[in-house]
Structure 1
Amino acid sequence: MKALKLFLLAVPLSLAACNASMPEILQTSADVASASGYGNQAQLVRGIKDALELSSGRAATSLSQTGGYSNNPLYRIELPQSVQPIASTLRQFGLGGQLDKVETLMNQGAEKAAVEAKDVFISAVRNMTVTDALGIIRGHDTAATDYFRQQTESTLRQRYLPIIQQNLRQIGFYNQYQQLLGTYKQLPIANKPDLDLEQHVLNQSLTALFKEVATQEQLIRKDPVERGSAIIGAVFSK
């Protein structure tokens, strides 16, 4: 316990030293970690990468299952909030069945796209540096997920949108959506909100994905050996 505390404090304490360079700071952390039984820098980075690969992989697997989005009250994708106030009116115009079908297809599209997320996640993990890994170890219980989102969200959006579009097309979403949109535009309702459901599905899909990655990271941090591996346990156990 005492040795690990020394390791966790090594870098911030080193920053207080006027003559300390970044390589010296990193080496100090590695030396303390090694003396504490936590291995060298390579092992530290490997432990962090393993944890991130596990948490992201489990999140993608969970959400890609049938009902991964639709059956989860936390992640279910519904019509945009801007549309909700007039949803009852749309149902009065006989669009209830179409609304339900569109919501079902939005969730199915997100579930199918989640399958493709694993490769994107793994590629991002491989670019992690020693400095990144040390920062994550000292960070809060979703530090890895926060780093991951910061580094990958822009790329994920670019790569995820075609996946969303392709899968929505395959399950017949656009035919159903165009029918709804055509009827919706003809309704005598003033100031109708925009129904850009494609971007809505993209945003909600990624938000849920990162939330689930964070959940999995927290579980690994709480029980790193049981939910991870020996090397992950060596890095995160306290």
Structure 2
Amino acid sequence: MNKKAIISSLVLCSSLSFAFDFNALTKDVVDTLTKDSTKKEQTVTTSSLSQDTVSQGLKEALKVGVDYAVKNLGAENGYLNNSLVKIPLPENLQKVEAIIRKSGGDKIADDLINSMNRAATNAAPKTAEIFMNTIEKMSLEDAKKILAGDEHSATNYFQENTNDALKKMIKPIVIKTMEQNSVSTYYNSFNSYYKEYGKAYVDNSSVMNFAKSFGADKYIPSASDENLEDYVTNKAIDGLFKMIAQKEASIRENPVEQTTSLLKKVFGN
């Protein structure tokens, strides 16, 4: 092989090698862009559909989400056994929960937590009608905003359009359930227990003495007069929103969750 042929062969090999590398690089870039632009792909996918079809698809997804949330949270221990929505002690009592438990107050703390979550569970099934009516009244513009939005868009919509109605529906059920389960008694017992044992534990600790030296002892948690019914009602609603949003996001992202032809048409690739 003469020198010219050798050079030509090297150039050809070099070009082929670059072409292969470039193809591989191009594939990587396309894969990356594909992963990072789910919303753009969804816009392209849905652009050929009528706006009404897209709107109906979103409404169906939200109805599936409501059904999922209500059934799961309305089941026995629906809130209590779900770490995503379990209602903890009110914030001020959380700060002293460890002290109460160390002082032998495990049962009081557990009874209060169980009773709050039971009240929310009893209220959950009653909320379905409010959600469904709100979905039916959703405008085409609302649907487009939610579909184009992030994972919180549906939650934000429900917060704006159902929150007051949900509070009116849920709070009386929470109050009634907590009366039946002596929640106020547990709550008062918790606070009394803290006053008798926990407060003394804190007052005598180096933490309190250190806080006093800076004039910050007023920030040490004390017994609470917080409205427990409002706290449980708000947490119950938050839990419903979270479960609906979780299901709606799952339908958008997971083909397995797209269980009807309409959902497949709107959300499928």
Q: TM-score, normalised by structure 2?
A: 0.66
**Match status 1:236 vs 2:267:** yes
2:127 alignment counterpart:
117
1:210 alignment counterpart:
241
Larger radius of gyration: 2
Q: Is the 8 A contact 1:105 1:173 kept in 2?
A: yes
Secondary structure in 2 aligned to 1:199? helix
Q: Is the 8 A contact 2:127 2:169 kept in 1?
A: no
2:168 alignment counterpart:
158
2:55 alignment counterpart:
45
**Match status 1:145 vs 2:175:** no
Give the gaps of 5 or more residues in structure 1.
Answer: 10-31
2:96 alignment counterpart:
86
Change (3 A) 1:129 1:93: same
Q: Aligned equivalents of 2:118 and 2:42: distance in 1?
A: 46
2:107 alignment counterpart:
97
Q: Offset at 1:58?
A: 0.4
More displaced stretch, 59-68 vs 218-227: 218-227
2:71 alignment counterpart:
61
1:198 alignment counterpart:
229
Q: Aligned equivalents of 1:224 and 1:187: distance in 2?
A: 55
Give the gaps of 5 or more residues in structure 2.
Answer: 1-38, 204-220
Q: Is the 8 A contact 2:99 2:198 kept in 1?
A: no
Q: Offset at 1:183?
A: 5.2
Secondary structure in 2 aligned to 1:156? helix
**Match status 1:222 vs 2:253:** yes
**Match status 1:108 vs 2:118:** yes
**Match status 1:75 vs 2:85:** yes
Q: Offset at 1:131?
A: 1.0
Q: Aligned equivalents of 2:230 and 2:40: distance in 1?
A: 45
Q: Is the 8 A contact 1:63 1:111 kept in 2?
A: yes
Secondary structure in 2 aligned to 1:198? helix
Q: Aligned equivalents of 1:188 and 1:230: distance in 2?
A: 59
Deviations 1:141-196 (A, max 9, x none): 44223222222223222322122212222333234334445555666837614243
Deviations 1:102-144 (A, max 9, x none): 1111111111111112111111111101111122222224422
Q: Offset at 1:6?
A: 9.9
Q: Aligned equivalents of 1:104 and 1:185: distance in 2?
A: 22
Q: Aligned equivalents of 1:151 and 1:224: distance in 2?
A: 29
Q: Which amino acid aligns with 1:134?
A: K
More displaced stretch, 196-205 vs 98-107: 196-205
2:14 alignment counterpart:
none
Q: Is the 8 A contact 1:54 1:228 kept in 2?
A: no
1:18 alignment counterpart:
none
Deviations 1:50-109 (A, max 9, x none): 111111220121111222211222222121222223223334555332221111111111
More displaced stretch, 205-214 vs 50-59: 205-214
Q: TM-score, normalised by structure 1?
A: 0.74
Secondary structure in 2 aligned to 1:83? helix
**Matched residue pairs, number?**
209
Q: Aligned equivalents of 1:6 and 1:77: distance in 2?
A: 38
Q: Is the 8 A contact 1:99 1:180 kept in 2?
A: yes
Q: Offset at 1:216?
A: 0.5
Structure with greater helix percent: 2
Q: Is the 8 A contact 1:63 1:114 kept in 2?
A: yes
Q: Is the 8 A contact 2:191 2:223 kept in 1?
A: no
